[in-house]
Amino acid sequence: MKPSKMTVGAVAAGVVALGAGIGVVGIASADPTPTPSATASGAPFPGADRAGGHGRGAHESELAQELASKLGVTEAKVTEALRAIREENKPTTRPDPTTRPDRAERAAALAKDLAEKLSIDEGKVKAALDEIRTAEQADRAAALKDRLDAAVTDGTLTQAEADAVQKAVEKGVILAGGGPR
């Protein structure tokens, strides 16, 4: 059976509305002054661009805690290293908003800088950052699924609309609070 134009329109409107809402959350959590270096997105480390957080300080503290645990150093030492890296990479000019820095390059630069400042093998730092990033991505995916499931349960979306939003996020069409890009 071929869906009617009205059904297709309703699904499209639902996807756009939910996508816009999710995108607003991502935009609201973004740092308005991205830097031109390894920290160019305004997310100087994994998790700093997560939606629903309590600002950079909370994320930096959480990251410092996790890294300290994984790397076997004090949280204070990691916190100081992250702050020093952020200071060293402060922008001198406003970057072009039409371009996005490469995430892999930023991650590699952060791992290198942290390894240097903490006197720890760069591979170990990279592995710790990768573990943290992977866990955060899984958390965001689970949170999105929960929100979509709740929207289906309360009748805000149909299952087909929720599936369409999920697919759009997975394909990078819609950014869900720092989700896949």
Within a domain: residue 176? Answer: no
Number of domain units in the chain: 1
The rounded distance, in Å, linking the Cα atoms of 77 and 56 is 18
Structure confidence at residue 90 (pLDDT):
87
CA pseudo-torsion sign 97, 44, 137, 126: positive
Structure confidence at residue 61 (pLDDT):
85
Within a domain: residue 177? Answer: no
The residue whose two tokens read 């297709």 is 8
Within a domain: residue 79? Answer: yes
- Which residues in the chain show pLDDT less than 70? 1-58, 176-181
Structural domain containing residue 61: 5-170
Within a domain: residue 120? Answer: yes
Q: pLDDT tens digits for 73-86?
A: 999 999 999 999 99
Structure confidence at residue 28 (pLDDT):
43
Retrieve residue 95's tokens: 């970057």
Within a domain: residue 130? Answer: yes
Structure confidence at residue 56 (pLDDT):
58
pTM summary value: 0.59
Within a domain: residue 180? Answer: no
The residue whose two tokens read 């020093």 is 84
The residue whose two tokens read 């959350």 is 25
Within a domain: residue 179? Answer: no
Q: At what angle do helices 56-71 and 122-153 cross, to 10 degrees?
A: 130
Structure confidence at residue 33 (pLDDT):
41
